Amino acid sequence: MPAFQPIGIIRSPFTRKDQTPIQPYRSQAAGRIELLPDYEGGLDGLEGFSHVILLYFFHHAEPGYDLIVTPYLDKEPHGLFATRYPRRPNAIGLSVVRLLRREGNTLHVEGIDVLDGTPLLDIKPYVPPFDAFPEATMGWLEGRT
């Protein structure tokens, strides 16, 4: 597997982990996705999508992981892969955010939930037939979001 490299940086109002919302639906925070200038052409046509999926590196997560964790939203321990906890074997984070507008290589977004300076790995268009399952059940998170 090749080494992954950041393609840009995520700008947010959150500079401390304890100020950062747990997930985007709790956040109305505005942020910016600053793509490295070389990639700007790859954004063409993204303006038609109201939401985008961000993949990023949890750069503030300490290295390593525990297979059983007690996440922020619960007091009970759960398997790591049943949580969105940042300390993971591959510390890749995923957030769906609302795309407000594009300005050159910058995307203005809303509902950001990551730390300022987070390295961006990928941007994908959010496509409801692929990605939206509003009736999905959510295990231990039921009633906790």
Instruction: Using CB under 8 A, list all residues that contact its own copies.
Output: 1-7, 23-25, 35, 39, 41-51, 53, 55, 57, 59, 63, 67-68, 78-84, 88-92, 94-96, 119, 121-142, 145
H or E stretch at 35: strand 30-35
Contact 80, 57 (CB under 8 A): no
- Three-state DSSP at 19 gives helix
- Shortest distance (Å) from residue 16 CB to its own copies: 21
Q: Which two tokens stand for residue 35?
A: 């793509």
Q: Which two tokens stand for residue 19?
A: 């100020």
Q: Which is nearer to its own copies, 18 or 62 (CB)?
A: 62
Q: Which is nearer to its own copies, 13 or 139 (CB)?
A: 139
Cα–Cα nearest to 9, from 89, 114, 80, 125: 114
Q: Which is nearer to its own copies, 117 or 131 (CB)?
A: 131
- Shortest distance (Å) from residue 13 CB to its own copies: 19
- Shortest distance (Å) from residue 36 CB to its own copies: 9
- Shortest distance (Å) from residue 135 CB to its own copies: 8
Residue with tokens 């639906």: 25
Return the number of other C-beta atoms located less than 10 Å from residue 15's C-beta. Answer: 10
